Amino acid sequence: MKTVLITGCSSGFGLDTARYFLARDWNVIATMRTVREDLLPAAPNLRVLALDVTDAASIAAAIAAAGPIDVLVNNAGIGMLASLEGTPMATARDVFETNTLGTIAMTQAVLPHMRARKEGIIVNVTSAVTMRALPMLSVYTGSKAAVEAFTESLALELQPFNIRVGLVLPGRSPTTKFGSNAGPRMAAGNPDAYMPMLQGIFAGSRELTEVTTGEEVAEAVWRAATDPAAPLKIAGGADAVTWAKESDDARFVTPR
């Protein structure tokens, strides 16, 4: 039975992905900053561990407790919807610390064991916003685009060791906690001059017909983790699939 470690499992895509792998009889290590045992059904193939991807000691403890890992899913992240002008640099650093450097740190932590075994898979969850320029998302998009550039380079770096690396790009999902997650950073980063733009974004989002579900993202992660012929990039969700087709990016169809 293979083992997957998934970060950011307290809600949203991480929680849905943990459920998806559990239902397919994988050993699942579901991690979150504050452990909650009630989020997933008790099972002999489930462990819930505390993990803060911005804390080196927390990462080391979780990796030690997890034991051998076949698949790492870097899903943990924080949201942000705010103008750059009103964003404190401390807030921008927080976003990159979790979304970008947290992904890099977790990847680095699993590599020695994967390289020694000459086997392993790393799936990095980013966002469909990297496919299309959108206002008020400059810092958030930057943090996710950095992960994509990192992943593409890393995929080449790890080929000699039989370690596969892939990306899943979810679309907009009203069922996740992105809004409440981004709330504190949004309130601090929007001068009055930007409010009409922000209100237009909210109004436009209510008219969208294509959205992403947690199960669609979990399915995309599953494909990235289990299909050796999967492309480097996999769009997760109906809207993300549409954007990927419009982008004409060969990395969504070319096998890794």
Rounded to 5°, angle at Cα 170 from 204 and 177: 70
CA 114 to each of CA 80, 98, 232, 239, 252: distance values in angstroms, whole numbers, following the listed order: 33, 23, 19, 34, 25
Residue type, 97: E
- Report the C-alpha gap between 211 and 188 in whole angstroms: 27
What are phi and psi for residue 77, nearest 5 degrees? Answer: -170, 165
Is 140 one of the annotated active-site residues of the chain? yes
Inter-residue contact 236 to 203 (CB < 8 Å): no
SS3 call for 74: strand
Task: Note whether 77 and 88 are within 8 A (CB).
Answer: no
Give the helix ranges, DSSP H, for the chain. 12-23, 56-66, 89-96, 102-117, 138-158, 178-187, 195-206, 214-226, 238-247
Residue type, 100: T
Choose the catalytic residue: 13, 21, 140, 178.
140
Residues annotated catalytic, as ranges: 140
